[in-house]
Amino acid sequence: MKVAIIGAGLAGLYCAHELERLGTAPDIYEMRSYVGEAISHITAILDITHRPHKDMLQYFRKDLALDITPYNVVRSLEHRAPNKTTTLYGHFGYFFKYTRDPDSLKVQMYNKLKKSRLFLNEYGDYERLAQKYDYVVIANGTSAAAEEQGIWQSWLKTYVRGAVVLGSFDPTRLIVWLNKDYTKNGYAYLTAFDNKKASLILIATEVNEKEVDRYWELFLYSENIRYPIVEEFKMAHTSGFAYPHRLGNLYFIGNAGGGVEPFLGFGHINAAVMGVSTARSIMLGKDYEKQIKEIMDRNIEMRQFRKLFNTMTNAGYDMLVTALGMPGVVPIIYNTNINATKYGALFSKLILKPPYR
Ligand SMILES: Cc1cc2nc3c(=O)[nH]c(=O)nc-3n(C[C@H](O)[C@H](O)[C@H](O)COP(=O)(O)OP(=O)(O)OC[C@H]3O[C@@H](n4cnc5c(N)ncnc54)[C@H](O)[C@@H]3O)c2cc1C
């Protein structure tokens, strides 16, 4: 069986891992000269996003046969609304390092591959590769191929601006800022590499490249953030929906197949499910669409949540953050199997009236 994977990102590497496990070594085409991240940052996966699965590392191990090592455990969540801050303590998920270091996630995954062939500095043209291989897995992190094939619908466009900053940090804490003034309907967050270095990121919705610079300056000014900056980046990010996710011998996975959820812009878990499901479809004949239905349905649910979130005012954010700090909320949301996004959306719809919306 000849399989080509376009992109040595998370989705592509997870797919290669499962293909190898099931007996085939794919060829991976990566246009960059390295495996790893172009921009250094720390990402998170949260225990509440994929209920009924409660601990994501266990889920990866048991259901996806993926044994990944996180960089840290998320032990506190700090939510900062304009007039209210709430900090929660517990076990909320895991942090991962996205750099080019050996302990970063992509390099970690790549090092687990035994037989796959990796071609660096190789741009993968899916139409050309489709002639040469039995299957082509499009895992290139963009919607371009899905758009060309007429199977893409854009949902949310954001601009992301970020920096690596120096200061004094807690590497087990995720800090999130919610403020319409400088994120529109997005958010900003800080995750730390260690107690001296952190990644600070602003995600602003429906803005252009120039506007995001203004929003970034306003964010730093409003929150009185003066950390020295050692690296900076800016990028456009799109979330959307693809259907179907397979066309003949082409599979669309990860961001290329609409794997980014439209509420927080998270895509790690979906990239893993799509990568592994594609390999199981190729090797075991399992229906790809059926295997990823649960995560795709969840993305649709998240989109409803996103639409509602977009109508909230800063007063609404204050109320939301206050509610998160109320006794009993953490045990209900984090320590049970409750589908927080589904019921959260319903609850907010019922109670959020002006001036909160
Ligand atoms: C700043 C930022 C923060 C994020 N934070 C989180 C988070 O906290 N939690 C979370 O769950 N998700 C997060 N995400 C999203 C998550 O990182 C992605 O959804 C995930 O990495 C899946 O990526 P992928 O494999 O589809 O694409 P990518 O990881 O982007 O990989 C695509 C690869 O394909 C290569 N490529 C592109 N075109 C070609 C071509 N034609 N030929 C060959 N190679 C090609 C690229 O060079 C790249 O290596 C974040 C994303 C960003 C940008």
User: How many angstroms separate the alpha carbon of residue 266 from the centre of ligand 1?
Assistant: 10
Supply the pTM of this predicted model: 0.94
User: How many angstroms separate the alpha carbon of residue 228 from the centre of ligand 1?
Assistant: 27
Please report the beta strands in the chain, taking only residues with DSSP state E, as ranges in sequence order: 3-6, 27-29, 41-46, 72-81, 84-98, 117-119, 135-138, 152-166, 173-177, 187-192, 197-205, 229-242, 246-247, 250-252
CATH number (3.50.50.60, 3.30.450.20, 3.40.50.880, 3.90.1300.10) of 3-308 reads: 3.50.50.60
User: At a CB cut-off of 8 Å and minimum separation 6, what does 84 contact?
Assistant: 317, 318, 321, 322
Give the separation between CA 276 and CA 131, rounded to whole angstroms: 23
CB of 283 closer than 6 angstroms to any ligand 1 atom: no
3-state DSSP percent of the chain in helix, strand and coil, to 5: 35, 30, 35
CB of 271 closer than 6 angstroms to any ligand 1 atom: yes
- pLDDT tens, N- to C-terminus, the chain (357 residues): 999 999 999 999 999 999 999 999 999 999 999 999 999 999 999 998 888 888 999 999 999 999 999 999 999 999 999 999 999 999 999 999 999 999 999 999 999 999 999 999 999 999 999 999 999 999 999 999 999 999 999 998 899 999 999 999 999 999 999 999 999 999 999 999 999 999 999 999 989 999 999 999 999 999 999 999 999 999 998 889 999 999 999 999 999 999 999 988 999 999 999 999 999 999 999 999 999 999 999 999 889 888 888 899 999 999 999 988 888 776 666 666 666 666 666 666 655 666 666
Exposure string for 45-61, b = 16+ CB within 10 A, e = fewer:
bbbbbbbebeebbebbe
Ligand 1 atom nearest the C-alpha of 160 is 1
What pLDDT shows up at residue 354? 61
CB of 344 closer than 6 angstroms to any ligand 1 atom: no
What pLDDT shows up at residue 52? 84
User: How many angstroms separate the alpha carbon of residue 356 from the centre of ligand 1?
Assistant: 34
Give the residue from 120, 135, 150 showing the smallest Cα distance to 241: 150
CB of 31 closer than 6 angstroms to any ligand 1 atom: yes
CB of 9 closer than 6 angstroms to any ligand 1 atom: yes
DSSP state of 187: E
What pLDDT shows up at residue 333? 67
What pLDDT shows up at residue 328? 73
User: In this structure, are residues 285 and 291 in contact, taking their beta carbons and an 8 Å threshold?
Assistant: no
User: How many angstroms separate the alpha carbon of residue 10 from the centre of ligand 1?
Assistant: 7
Terminal-to-terminal C-alpha distance of the chain? 54
User: How many angstroms separate the alpha carbon of residue 251 from the centre of ligand 1?
Assistant: 16
Determine the longest span between alpha carbons in the chain, in angstroms: 60
CB of 37 closer than 6 angstroms to any ligand 1 atom: no
User: In this structure, are residues 275 and 254 in contact, taking their beta carbons and an 8 Å threshold?
Assistant: yes
CB of 6 closer than 6 angstroms to any ligand 1 atom: yes
What pLDDT shows up at residue 352? 60
The boundaries of every CATH 3.50.50.60 domain in the chain are 3-308
